[in-house]
Amino acid sequence: MDMMQAMILGLIEGATEFLPISSTGHMIVAAQWMGLPQNEENKAFEVMIQLAAILAVVANYRDKMTLAHLELWKKLVLAFVPIGAVGLLFHHQIKAMFSTDIVAVMFIVGGMIFLVVEYMHKDKVYPVQDVEDVSYRQALWIGVAQVFALIPGTSRAGSTIIGAMLVGLSRKASAEFSFLLALPVMLAASGFDLLKHYQDFSGADWMQLLMGFVVAFVSAWLVMRLLMQFLEKFTFVAFGVYRIVFGLLLLWVLAS
Model confidence pLDDT, tens digit, residues 30-70: 887 887 777 667 677 777 888 898 899 999 999 999 888 99
Q: Distance between CA 31 and CA 106 in Å, rounded? A: 18
pTM exceeds cut of 0.95: no
CA 210 to chain centre: 21
Beta strands in 157-213 (DSSP E): none
| Inter-CA distances, 191 with 22, 27, 76, 106, 130, Å | 20, 19, 18, 26, 30
Phi, psi of 98 (to 5 degrees): -75, 95
101-159 tens-digit pLDDT: 888 899 999 999 999 999 988 777 889 999 999 999 999 999 999 999 888 888 889 99
Q: Which residues contact 89 (CB under 8 A, 6 or more apart)?
A: none
